Amino acid sequence: MVLIGAGLAALQVFDLVYVIAPGPVQEDATVLATQMWLVSFGGGNDQGMGSALGVLLLLVVPAMVFNVRRFRRSQR
């Protein structure tokens, strides 16, 4: 359940970057979720690279959970 929640939280950044950053600087303001969408559907038409970025995004989640747990233990 935590994994699903963390994955959804990571993908929620997508809309903020896509909407807030103006067109000319959108490439410079990208995050992994935004890059995944742009490569797959936003004109790149490379679903293989988009899938690889999605897998990379899912591999980052366990490291994030580990760091959050370690941080909480150090706060006690």
pLDDT-based confidence at 2, cuts 50/70/90?
Answer: low
8 Å CB contact between 50 and 44:
yes
Burial (0-12, 13-18, 19+ Cβ within 10 Å), 53: buried
Q: Do 13 and 31 contact (CB within 8 A), yes or no?
A: yes
Per-residue pLDDT, 27: 72
User: For residues 26 and 55, what is the distance between their CA atoms, to the nearest angstrom?
Assistant: 23
Looking at every residue in the chain, the average pLDDT score rounds to 79
35-39, 46-50, 61-65: which is most confident: 46-50
* pTM score: 0.56
